[in-house]
Chains A and B, each alone.
With several copies, the nearest count.
Chain A
Amino acid sequence: MSDSVVGSQLPVRPTEKPICLIAADGKRTSPDLAAGFELPASDILLSLYRRMVLGRRFDVQVTAVTRQGRLATYPSAVGQEACEIGAVAALGDDDWLFPTYRDTMAVMTRGVAPADALRQFRGDWHMGFDPYEHRISVQATPLATQALHAVGLATAAKLKGDNVVALTFLGDGSTSEGDAHEAFNFAAVWQAPVVFVIQNNQYAISVPITKQSHARTLADKAIGYGMPGYYVDGNDVAAMYTVISAAVVNAREGRGPALIEGLTYRVEAHTNSDDPTRYRDRDEEDAWAALDPIARLERHLRGTGDLTEQLSAEIANEAETLAANVREAVNAETELDPLEIFDHVYVIPRETLAEQRDYLARELASAEQESDR
Chain B
Amino acid sequence: MTLVHEPAAPATAKPSAPISIAGALNAALRDAIEADPSVVVFGEDVGPLGGVFRVTDGLAARFGENRVWDSPLAEAGIVGTAIGMAMYGMRPIVEMQFDAFSYPAFEQITSHLAKMHNRTRGAVRLPIVIRIPYAGGIGGVEHHSDSSEAYWTHTPGLTVVTPSNPADAYSMLREAIASDDPIIFLEPKSRYWSREDVALPVTTAPMTSAVVLREGTDVTLLAYGPTVRTALEAADQGALEGLSVEVIDLRSLSPFDDETVGASVRKTSRAAVIHEAAQFGGYGAEVAARVTERQFFYLAAPVLRITGFDIPYPSPKLEEHFLPTADRVLAALDTWEW
Contacts and interface: CB of A to CB of B under 8 A. Distances in A.
A and B touch in the complex (CB under 8 A): yes
Contact of A206 (B70, B87, B125): B70
B314 A131 contact: no
Contacts of B144: 141
B311 A341 contact: yes
Interface string B75-89: 011011111111111
Given A3-B65, A123-B141, A142 B101 contact: yes
A122 B135 CA distance: 20
A347 B85 contact: no
Interface string B31-57: 000000000101011011110100000
Contacts of B74: 176-178, 182, 185-186
A177 B104 contact: yes
A65 interface: no
Contacts of A341: 309, 311, 314, 318, 321-322
A215 to B, nearest CB: 12
Given A72-B316, A127-B120, A350-B255, A157 B73 contact: no
A211 B85 contact: no
B66 A154 contact: no
A35 interface: no
A310 interface: no
Contact of B73 (A130, A143, A342, A353): A143
Interface stretch (A14-22, A144-152, A237-245, A311-319): A144-152
Given A131-B87, A179-B76, A185-B72, A342 B318 contact: no
A168 to B, nearest CB: 10
A130 B123 contact: yes
A123 B49 contact: no
Interface in B104-151: 104, 107-108, 111-112, 115-125, 139-144
B312 A345 contact: yes
A125 B312 CA distance: 12
A138 interface: yes
Contact of B87 (A152, A178, A185): A152
B45 A348 contact: no
Contacts of A360: 309, 321
A183 interface: yes
A186 B77 contact: yes
A221 to B, nearest CB: 13
Contacts, number: 255
A123 B140 CA distance: 8
Contact of A157 (B88, B112, B139): B88
B191 to A, nearest CB: 18
B197 interface: no
Contacts of A155: 81, 84-85
B84 A153 contact: yes
B70 A344 contact: no
A177 B101 CA distance: 11
Contacts of B44: 204-205, 207
Interface in A322-368: 336, 338, 340-348, 350-353, 356, 360, 363-364
A1 B65 contact: yes
Interface of A: 1-3, 72-73, 101, 120-127, 130-132, 137-138, 141-143, 145, 147-157, 159-160, 164, 166, 173-174, 176-179, 182-183, 185-186, 189, 204-207, 211-213, 273-275, 278-279, 336, 338, 340-348, 350-353, 356, 360, 363-364
What are the 5 A-B residue pairs with the smallest beta carbon separation, nearest first? Answer: A152-B84, A148-B80, A123-B316, A152-B81, A182-B77
Interface of B: 40, 42, 44-45, 47-50, 52, 65-66, 69-74, 76-77, 79-90, 100-101, 103-104, 107-108, 111-112, 115-125, 139-144, 156-157, 159, 179-181, 208, 255-256, 258, 280, 309-312, 314-318, 321-322, 328, 331
